[in-house]
Amino acid sequence: MGARTWLGEWPMFRQATGPDPLGRGAAVQSPRTQALGPRTADADEVVKSVCPYCAVGCGQNVYVRDGRVTQIEGDPDSPVSRGRLCPKGSASTSLVTSPTRVTTVRYRRPYGTEWEDLDLDTAVDMIADRVIDARRKGWQDTDDDGRVLRRTLGFSSLGGATLDNEENYLIKKLFMALGAIQVENQARI
């Protein structure tokens, strides 16, 4: 390695003599940083999405590599948001990759003091049994005046504003067929 080459790799020298006197670009690059690229550049695909926080409905581009979300950016095509995201929308990569996210079923038995593990299939089956039982216990055919009610007050549901239309539709449809009138969501508060 000649002295000129060695000197040329010294950032201070390049900053003082080159076109980057403030040291914000080429002057301070090393072979390692020169090889770095944005993680959006090597995504396998970019999937169109919508921000999950408030109801403005900003467009999001979801960058995926090896089956994992690597970055979420604002979608410049959206006439709603023109590529912008707020602090929450900008943090949605950390929402979907959160290390504290719970990804297995947790079960607390009556009067229990700790969480336990439970198989998902078993859990859904237990829930189905409890729905059938609560539905019967809370069933009302008529009221005291003989008016037909044909409903149950045995159980209820809360939530929907964070879900998809298709999901809300299935919840309402199933609850109506069960006779369960007590369905509510964030729009009530």
Partner 1 sequence: MAEAHPVGFQWVMEAKKRGATVIHVDPRFTRTSAVADLHVPFRAGADIAFLGGLIHYVLDNELDFREYVTTFTNAAEIVGEDFVDGDVSGLFSGYDPETGRYDPISWQMEGGVYEAPAAGQRDHWEPELREHHAAHAADTGGGAGEAAHAPAAPERDDTLQHPRCVYQVLKRHYARYTPEAVASVCGMSTAQFLEVARAITRNSGRERTTAWVYSVGWTHHTVGAQYIRAAAVLQTLLGNMGRPGGGILALRGHASIQGSTDIPTLYDLLPGYIPMPNAHLHEDLQSFLDADAAKTGFWGHMDAYLVSLLKAWWGDAATPENDFAFDYLPRLTGNHGTYGIVRDQIDKKTFGYFLVGENPAVGHANGKMQRLGLANLEWLVVRDMQMIESASFWKDGPEIETGELRTEDIGTEVFFLPCANHTEKSGTFTNTQRLLQWRREAVHPPGDARSELHFYFHLGRRIREKLAGSTDERDRPLLDLTWDYPTFGVHDEPDPESVLAEINGFDADGNHLSSYTQMKADGSTSGGCWIYTGVYKDGINQADRRKPGSEQDWVAAEWGWAWPANRRTLYNRASADADGKPWSERKAYVWWDSEQGSWTGHDIPDFEATKPPSYRPPEGAQCEDALAGTDAFIMQADGKAWLYAPTGLADGPMPTHYEPVESPVANLLHDQQDNPAREDIDRAWNRLNPAMSETYPYVFLTYRLTEHHTAGGMSRFLGYLSELQPEFFCEVSPALARERGLEHLGWATLISARTAIEARVVVTERMKPLRIGDHVVHQIGLPYHWGSNGLSHGDPANDLLGVVMDPNVHIQESKVATCDIQPGRRPRGPALLEFVESHRRKAGVEPGGTR
Identify residues 139-158 at the interface with partner 1 (CB under 8 A): 139, 141, 143, 145-158
Contacts for 130 with CB less than 8 Å, ≥ 6 apart: 155
Complex with partner 1: residue 42 or 141, whichever CB lies closer? 141
The least CB distance from residue 36 to partner 1, in Å, is 21
> By C-beta, is 14 or 89 nearer to partner 1?
89
Interaction of residue 134 with partner 1, rule CB under 8 A: yes
CB nearer to partner 1: give 6 or 173.
173
In this structure, which amino acid lies at residue 23? G
Quick one: 19 or 164, whose CB is closer to partner 1? 164
Tell me the closest approach of the beta carbon of residue 33 to partner 1, in angstroms: 23
Residue 58: Cβ-neighbour burial (10 angstroms; 0-12, 13-18, 19+) = buried
User: What is the spatial distance between Cα 71 and Cα 68, in angstroms, rounded to a whole number?
Assistant: 9
CB of 160 to partner 1, least distance (A): 3
Please give the angle made by the CA atoms of 152, 156 and 158, to the nearest 5 degrees.
Answer: 155
Our finding on whether 168 is near partner 1 (CB under 8 A) is yes
Q: Is 88 in the site for partner 1 (CB under 8 A)?
A: yes
Q: How far is the CB of 41 from partner 1 (least distance, A)?
A: 17
Which positions from 33 through 62 interact with partner 1, judged by CB under 8 A?
A: 45, 47-59, 62
Q: 151 CB contacts (<8 Å, ≥6 apart)?
A: 139, 140, 179, 180, 181
One-character DSSP codes across 116-138: EE--HHHHHHHHHHHHHHHHHHT
Asked if 64 touches partner 1 (CB under 8 A), the answer is yes
160 in contact with partner 1 (CB under 8 A): yes
Helix (H) or strand (E) holding 87: helix 87-90
